[in-house]
Amino acid sequence: MPQIRPAAPEDVSAIHRLIYELAVFEKAPEQFVLTQEKLLEDGFGASPKYICFIAEQEQTILGMSFCYLRYSTWKGPVLYLEDLIVSESHRRKGIGKALFEFTCDYALAHNYTRLQWQVLDWNQSAIDFYKRFNASFDPEWLNAWVELKK
């Protein structure tokens, strides 16, 4: 079983590779524009904007859990799981489960009120994965956003 640990600055190239692999899986590689430099600054600079946990075995990074803080006006602090990624060649080996459980344990230890995430409606294997943890799926809320450009 892999070791799960907090990401370090030297992991940024592997984090970047995993995010790109996810973009390809989700059929949107052209939308992936984030640079390694921005990942480094945003995760390990003066004001970190995300938390990342790495699954590693024999000095090879196999996957990651990528999170950030949200705040619910009804519940308080929420840990938002932006992406749970296991490299395709290492799936179905318990790595995603280990990452997810580590992330849940982290959230509990740091007094977050819940762990929240999204899953694409066509990604049945991910939906089935989260159901094994008794996850709730919200049928009411629609995702919305505005692209901010300077």
Token duo for residue 54:
């790495």
Q: Which of 80, 106, 112, 130 is catalytic?
A: 130
Half-sphere CA count of 89, side-chain side, radius 13 A: 4
With H, G, I as helix, E, B as strand and everything else as coil, classify residue 128: helix
Q: Where are the beta strands (DSSP E) in the chain?
A: 3-6, 51-57, 60-72, 76-86, 114-117
Whether the Cβ atoms of residue 89 and residue 52 lie closer than 8 Å to each other:
no
Does 106 qualify as catalytic in the annotation?
A: no
Write out the catalytic residue numbers.
130
